[in-house]
Structure 1
């Protein structure tokens, strides 16, 4: 039953915000390519951020957690997204590498840059008419 609920909830959680952004962007006369890049970069930011913050958590198989063999306790940080293992001596050590953090920040900055570009395009269109 839980699988059925999550199967039905996934299109709503992804589809409704995507459709809302698309419809609002089209109403504001933002070009389609800007909307597509914005949506792709935005969802990439959300998914990579979630994966980075949940990497140390033993959700399905505790043996697959990076903290499993170290007697460490998993700790999550949601912004900026990162996962840590709190070791016996109290030290926090990250379990995410620099490349995955770079992917998150690249996607987040692309989302922001496209949003600013859409505002400039809209302003330019108003000044021409």
Structure 2
């Protein structure tokens, strides 16, 4: 998975196998920064009552794809590591995007700095 940040847009690019596990044809997600409410590295809440449609779930291994929760429609691509990056969104198809990436702290800091500059 690759992330790219410009002055007003975050792009998340999935590898072919990530698309396969997430059961999505979308290779890239483009999220305008003004639609991101917050970025965090906190472990997101997850429970058995979520509806997966479509996606993959292997407990302790991977959670990938589209999930419907009490919070709304969410995209997850989380593996066994705990390097979470959670994006809370508004006016987008997904209410939340949850991924795991090796440099999650740096990306969270970078995104929040960009979001603060957007608020000015």
- Would you call these one fold, judging by a TM-score over 0.5? no
TM-score norm. by structure 2 comes to 0.23
TM-score norm. by structure 1 comes to 0.22
Q: Which has the higher helix share?
A: 1
Q: Which has the higher strand share?
A: 2
